[in-house]
């Protein structure tokens, strides 16, 4: 087996680093309050539901504009959308590389914002949208003219998505939607919410759920509040839908087969999420090793103590194993239909997300009080990546997926 990376990637990463240093880092230094110890407070509009401040999001938009102009933002998209046909292995390596640099404007995962964009909504639209929908949506999603929140989770249903209670009933040439959604990420700025609702069948059945593109300004669509979370600001809205009417062309994909749309979104995100967690974990390990070499205690470097060495060796070994797993899963995703390798993606996802939490926690311990402070990035990394063990399918759901394949039960 060849463990070397595709030959174009080292040069590509070098070009990317040069772009970051010349175009992004100067902009970051002009707005350093969003990245130093003040970051959580500077980013959060505490008096407006805890959502991100407009100025912060404007800065992210400027970063994406520069990245798009330089040809980086759309790297992972097909060439027909102005992208460079970046593969899943390309994106995994790039995502790891960017996260390994630590917190910065080049790659701020709290907002899933990066110089190399992650566009699962565009992939969904390409695979499931009608020609009319593609024309209306694709470029607008890339530029930010339109944005789509994701309305699957409900107050009473999370991982058990087939039991969702939101319904959509045909009414003339359209649909009437009633229900509630929870943790609608990005709904504070979204033009539309991709709402999953039962259109037929019984609770627990996968078939019978449809996906609807619902305008967030539609009558009856309300966001009563946002959930304040471990890592602020929050963009996780509670959504209520009361007699919300949408036309028939608001359906994305086939009626009654909306979960296929959702699964595409999740698999595209999970492998890239895993790569980002791996990169952030490596940052934490490297920071702890560097500090242990510099810090002198009892007249000698902290690094000579086996109590410091061994946990970091264990983490470094785990990182290398996870790296191989992430790369393997990414190459398998490139070569096969995403459902055929979903167990590989799940393995990579839950192990990488667990690793970064362990690495951040251990790095805090090595750095002591400084590590616990907000003057280091460790607490921010931990608070952000801890949610990855819940979102996109909790790690228990990822393990369950692997078990289904391992024990040969359930649907493929």
Q: What is the CATH number of the domain that holds 302?
A: 1.20.140.10
Whether residue 200 sits in one domain with residue 160: yes
Whether residue 39 sits in one domain with residue 98: yes
Residue 392 forms part of a structural domain: yes
pLDDT in tens, 210-228: 999 999 999 999 999 999 9
Residue 97 forms part of a structural domain: yes
Whether residue 236 sits in one domain with residue 269: no
Domain that holds residue 381: 260-407
User: Which of 252, 272, 299 is the endpoint of a domain?
Assistant: 252
Q: In the predicted model, what is the mean pLDDT of residues 281-291?
A: 98
State which H helix or E strand residue 136 sits in. helix 131-143
Residue 154 forms part of a structural domain: yes
Determine whether 318 is an active site residue: no
Whether residue 245 sits in one domain with residue 332: no
Options 96, 112, 379, 392, the catalytic residue: 392
Instruction: Report the pLDDT value the prediction gives residue 265, as an integer from 0 to 100.
Output: 67
State the Cα–Cα distance between residues 408 and 412, nearest whole angstrom.
9
Alpha carbon distances (Å) from 358 to 121, 145, 223, 303, 367: 31, 38, 35, 19, 14
User: Which of 188, 219, 252 is the endpoint of a domain?
Assistant: 252
- Residue 40 backbone phi and psi in degrees, to 5: -65, -45
Can you say whether the dihedral through the CA atoms of 394, 395, 396, 398 is positive or negative? positive
Please state the domain count of the chain. Answer: 3
Q: What is the CATH number of the domain that holds 160?
A: 2.40.110.10
Q: In the predicted model, what is the mean pLDDT of residues 145-152?
A: 92
pLDDT in tens, 171-201: 999 999 999 999 999 999 999 999 999 999 9
State the Cα–Cα distance between residues 291 and 312, nearest whole angstrom.
12
Residue 137 forms part of a structural domain: no
Whether residue 272 sits in one domain with residue 402: yes
- pTM tops 0.75, yes or no: yes
Angle between helical axes of 342-367 and 258-294 (0-180°, round to 10): 30
CB contact at 8 A, 181 and 153: yes
Is a pLDDT exceeding 90 seen at residue 316? Answer: yes
């Amino acid at each position: 087996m060849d463990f070397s990376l595709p030959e174009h990637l080292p040069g590509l990463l070098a070009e990317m680093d040069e772009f970051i240093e010349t175009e992004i880092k100067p902009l970051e230094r002009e707005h350093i309050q969003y990245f130093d110890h003040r970051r959580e407070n500077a980013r959060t509009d505490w008096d407006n539901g805890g959502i991100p401040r407009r100025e912060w999001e404007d800065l992210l938009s400027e970063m994406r504009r520069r990245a798009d102009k330089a040809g980086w933002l759309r790297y992972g998209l097909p060439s027909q959308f102005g992208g460079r046909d970046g593969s899943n292995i390309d994106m995994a390596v790039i995502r790891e590389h960017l996260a390994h640099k630590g917190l910065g404007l080049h790659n701020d995962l709290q907002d899933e914002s990066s110089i190399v964009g992650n566009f699962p909504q565009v992939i969904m639209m390409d695979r499931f949208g009608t020609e009319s929908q593609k024309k209306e949506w694709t470029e607008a999603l890339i530029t930010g003219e339109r944005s789509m929140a994701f309305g699957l989770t409900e107050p009473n249903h999370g991982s058990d998505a087939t039991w969702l209670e939101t319904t959509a009933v045909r009414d003339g040439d359209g649909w009437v939607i009633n229900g509630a959604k929870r943790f609608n990420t990005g709904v504070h700025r979204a033009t539309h919410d991709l709402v999953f609702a039962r259109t037929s069948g019984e609770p627990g059945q996968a078939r019978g759920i449809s996906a609807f593109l619902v305008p967030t300004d539609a009558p009856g669509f309300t966001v009563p509040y946002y959930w304040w979370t471990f890592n602020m600001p929050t963009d996780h809205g509670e959504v209520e839908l009361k007699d919300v009417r949408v036309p028939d062309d608001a359906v994305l994909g086939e009626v009654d087969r909306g979960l296929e749309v959702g699964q595409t979104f999740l698999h595209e995100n999970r492998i890239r999420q895993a790569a980002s967690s791996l990169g952030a974990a490596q940052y934490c390990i490297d920071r702890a090793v560097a500090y242990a070499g510099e810090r002198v205690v009892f007249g000698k470097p902290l690094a000579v103590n086996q109590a410091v060495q061994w946990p970091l060796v264990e983490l470094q070994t785990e990182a290398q194993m996870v790296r191989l797993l992430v790369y393997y899963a990414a190459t398998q995703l490139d070569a096969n239909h995403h459902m055929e390798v979903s167990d590989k993606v799940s393995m990579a996802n839950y192990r990488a997300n667990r690793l970064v939490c362990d690495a951040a926690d251990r790095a805090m311990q090595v750095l002591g009080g400084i590590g616990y402070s907000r003057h280091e990035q460790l607490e921010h990394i931990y608070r952000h990546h801890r949610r990855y063990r819940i979102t996109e399918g909790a790690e228990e759901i990822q393990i369950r997926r692997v078990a289904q394949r391992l024990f040969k039960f359930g649907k493929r």
